[in-house]
Amino acid sequence: MQIVAKGLTYTYNPKSPFASQALKGVDLTIEEGEFFGIIGHTGSGKSTFVQHLNALIRLSGGQLRVGEYDLSSKKCNFVELRSKVGMVFQYPEYQLFAATVEKDVEFGLKNFRKELTEAEQTAAVREAIETVGLDYDALKDQSPFELSGGQKRRVAIAGVIVTKPEILILDEPAAGLDPLGKRELMELLHSIHGGWCKTIVIVSHDMDEIAENCTNAAVFSDGKVVLQGKPSEIFRQADKLFSLGLDIPMTARCALLLRAQGIEIDTDFTCDDFAEKVSALWRKGGNHAQ
């Protein structure tokens, strides 16, 4: 499903002294199959935007289409839409609530896929739990509250992907995890991407994470999309990002410093590519000794 937003606007607490316009005309298209990154300062409108995508926030201005669902239409089937657009919030492990892992994961299914038989539901739950890398038989009867932080987060993700959403949106999916936990979580998302969920959209503050993982990205600032394109294109515009109070990946900072010394590294800013390009440069030119 393709996501197309045109002139999207949204105001919190309208017509009150606390009114604040979070979206000021967002134009953005996210194609099916992308691993899309949304970047922006706290308060830039990125969370407000993603909450529109499965109608957690109802459209109040502009146009939004997600696949065949026109969210500006009163006839839009929001329940069906929500089963196809899964949303994983920040720190989703705080939202676990059921007595067992199985019941927690099953909850979404019971709401969205009532047509499934008991056996089909159990099979779907097993598949979701195994897909997030957990042992179904060992964990299904355990309380989710007794698991480790990383496991809890996986259970929470299983509870969202169990309905087989075509689009999976995750707000800061790796926040608070240790470095290896972050890497494992991103690996999990890549393993889901393309098969289980066609499109993945992540909101992230971590520019290195965006550079390493995303096919395309958009930068939000003050309720609008101010930059979009491949991460390699976005992170070339360091001055613009700095002026918005945003960072660039470590590799991009290094490339800037090298450029100041007259050394150009044409990289996509992933660590592996950066190292490759630098060593290629070294082999080609600088190293006459060999």
Partner 1 sequence: MEAVRFEHVKYSYREDESEYAVNDVSLSVEEGEFVAILGRNGSGKSTLAKLINALLTPTSGKVSVFGLDTSDEKQTFAIRKSAGMVFQNPDNQAVASIVEDDVAFGPENIGVPREEIGKRIDFALNAVGMQDFRNAMPSRLSGGQKQRIAIAGVIAILPKIMILDESTAMLDPQGRREVMAVVKKLNREQGMTVILITHFMEEALQAERAIVMHRGEVVMDGTPEHIFSHSDALETYNLTLPRAAYICKKLQAAGMPIGEAFTAEELAEEICKSLQKG
Chain residues that interact with partner 1, rule: CB under 8 A: 41-43, 91, 148-150, 175-181, 183, 205-208, 245-247, 250-251, 253-254, 257-258, 261, 263, 271-272, 274-275, 278-279, 281-282, 285-289
For the bound state, the minimum distance from the C-beta of residue 51 to partner 1, rounded and expressed in Å, comes to 18
**SS percent in the chain: helix, strand, coil, step 5:** 40, 20, 35
For residue 56, how many C-alpha atoms fall within 13 Å in the half-sphere facing its CB? 13
Provide the strand spans (E) within 50-106.
61-66, 69-70, 85-88
- Which residue, 192 or 256, is less far from partner 1 as judged by CB? 256
- Which residue, 43 or 229, is less far from partner 1 as judged by CB? 43
Measured CA to CA, the distance from residue 65 to residue 81 in angstroms comes to: 11
Going by their DSSP bridges, the two strands 167-171 and 199-203 should be labelled as parallel
- Which residue, 56 or 177, is less far from partner 1 as judged by CB? 177
Contact 40, 220 (CB under 8 A): yes
Measured CA to CA, the distance from residue 153 to residue 220 in angstroms comes to: 26
- Which residue, 192 or 250, is less far from partner 1 as judged by CB? 250
For the bound state, the minimum distance from the C-beta of residue 64 to partner 1, rounded and expressed in Å, comes to 26
- Which residue, 42 or 117, is less far from partner 1 as judged by CB? 42
Helices (H), 142-206: 149-161, 179-192
For the bound state, the minimum distance from the C-beta of residue 52 to partner 1, rounded and expressed in Å, comes to 21
For the bound state, the minimum distance from the C-beta of residue 20 to partner 1, rounded and expressed in Å, comes to 11
For the bound state, the minimum distance from the C-beta of residue 224 to partner 1, rounded and expressed in Å, comes to 19
